[in-house]
Amino acid sequence: MSLLDDYHLLQVPTTATEQDVKAAFRRLARQYHPDKNPNQDTTELFQRLQAAYQNVLDAIKNGTQPADWQPYSFTNEAKPSPFEKSGFNFKNDGAQEEYIRERQRAYEEMKRNNAKKDQAREEAIKTARNTLNERRVKALYEEAFKHNKPFDSEKNYADVHSNRETHPNRETHHFNSENFTSDSDIKKDTQYQFDEPPFQNQFSGRAGYSNTLEERHDRSFAVPIRLRAAKLAFQAASYIGCFAAGIYATLYWQDLNTSNDQMGAEQNTYIAGLYPDLRIGDAYSLEDTPLYSEPNTSNTSLINIPQNSDVSVQQSKGNWLALRYKNHTGWAKASKFGFGSFNNAQLYGCYGHPGIAPEHGEFVRKSTNNSKKHLGKSRLRILNQLPVASILRFESLEGDAPFAIYLHAKQALAANSIPRGKYKLVLETGSLYHRACQHFVFNDQEHTLMDTVDFSSTERSITLRP
């Protein structure tokens, strides 16, 4: 296999640098490595890639190029033709060379012309956009002026005539009442009384004015009244927006404070078939529950069991419980009863369904933020040999909030995020962990492992034995 084939196998040009060759080899090695293709045998191809990679690197370091590759270029050297001695010499070689040069010049000129056309096109588009924006602004200005001109003209007209009505004998500095003879004089003199804008409005003629002085006087206050109404509307909208924002913020914080309680309630919902071995024994009713002679709601109920009443479960069958309440025996739905006695639920606050037990090594706390994990750098290795589930509780001696780690039976744990500080370690064991009260419902026992332990940057270990 030649050096040119090695370049083709690595999918790089013959002008590639050492860095390009290394990058191409890494990419192909990730693609064709035998470990990456368990369903296809790529060992031979990978070995060829390695050999080609080494050959190409050696060629680049030695400064050699493939022997059978030559870049195309025009030269002026007179090379001997292999057909020169035999008389086979082509006279059109120079014409072909000139033709190729001409095509290259045409291609370069075409590229330059295309660049000029693109630049001219962009400038034309930019000029058209600017012209369009200018026309739009001018049209908006003219439209706004047309709407404002009648009110300004009427106001000035009303002010002049109101002054004449109040002071009939006062002569203005523009003209004398004795010389008031023709319409031409009126037009000539009144052009100084009105501040006429450069644009004329087709709806601002005198024919549209009111004939009475009162109407003209009322129209003179139209613009200030509208502006005052707009300001009042804006102030009212601002007040309403601020009031709505305050209500929204209050509701948001209330929802944020109650979200954790709602999450806990969702976790403690009834789950069918949970802890079937602990269903037999003591239980209590969560609400008024009918007792049936058979596990079927279509039958007539025998009696209604009041809320928070202790019962004795004798058998569990699916979502139904065969239980005894006082002198009555029958069937009732399992979702209506909690585990253990009602007195125990009142004592620890373990009311309702227990929910799913925490995962092994999960952090639990005596607060509403059960899902929030502690962040620390101290490490603790726990060798757990207890046959039942347990809770290792950390009670801070420095005033920090206590937390605990849930441990499954006979499972070791490496806790790497214990906060630094001094703690008292308390071990709590039992069965059926209840999320609402963070206690075990049955056989709940606890004892102190260590009165004082200091967690720092060093690693500690503890062994839990029955």
Q: Are 343 and 280 found together in one domain? A: yes
Tens-place pLDDT, residues 14-57: 888 889 999 999 999 888 888 888 888 888 888 888 888 998 88
What CATH number is attached to the domain comprising 38? 1.10.287.110
What CATH number is attached to the domain comprising 429? 2.60.40
Q: Are 189 and 177 in contact (CB under 8 A)?
A: no
Q: Assess if residue 375 is contained within a domain.
A: yes
Q: Are 435 and 378 found together in one domain? A: yes
Q: Are 379 and 460 found together in one domain? A: yes
- pLDDT tier at 137 (50, 70, 90 boundaries)? confident
Number of domains forming the structure of the chain: 3
Q: Assess if residue 151 is contained within a domain.
A: no
Q: What does pLDDT average to over the chain?
A: 75
Q: Are 416 and 457 found together in one domain? A: yes
Tens-place pLDDT, residues 94-107: 777 777 888 788 87
Q: Are 297 and 320 in contact (CB under 8 A)?
A: no
Domain span holding position 58: 3-62
Across 140-280, the runs of DSSP E, i.e. the strands, are none
Specify the pTM.
0.42
Which carries the bigger pLDDT value, residue 136 or residue 309?
Answer: 309
Q: Assess if residue 127 is contained within a domain.
A: no
Q: Assess if residue 303 is contained within a domain.
A: yes
Sheet holding 328-333, edge to edge: 301-305, 289-292, 328-333, 320-325, 310-317, 281-285, 337-339
What CATH number is attached to the domain comprising 286? 2.30.30.40
Q: Are 340 and 379 found together in one domain? A: no
Q: Are 409 and 446 found together in one domain? A: yes
Tens-place pLDDT, residues 424-466: 999 999 988 888 888 888 888 888 988 888 887 678 888 998 8
The residue from 41, 62, 83 where one domain ends is 62
For 434, list phi and psi in degrees, rounded to 5. Answer: -110, 120
Q: Assess if residue 239 is contained within a domain.
A: no
Tens-place pLDDT, residues 258-303: 655 554 444 467 887 788 888 888 999 999 999 998 888 888 888 9
Q: Are 384 and 311 found together in one domain? A: no
Query: CA 40, CA 32: separation in Å to the nearest integer?
Result: 9
Q: Assess if residue 29 is contained within a domain.
A: yes
Q: Assess if residue 262 is contained within a domain.
A: no
For 75, list phi and psi in degrees, rounded to 5. Answer: -125, 155
Question: Region 367-389: what's the mean pLDDT?
Answer: 72
Tens-place pLDDT, residues 356-365: 889 998 888 6
Residues 6+ apart with CB under 8 A from 162: 213, 217
**Which H, E and C letters describe 92-138, residue by residue?**
CHHHHHHHHHHHHHHHHHHHHHHHHHHHHHHHHHHHHHHHHHHHHHH
Helix (H, G, I), strand (E, B) or coil at 282: strand
Q: Are 460 and 397 found together in one domain? A: yes
Q: Are 389 and 340 found together in one domain? A: no
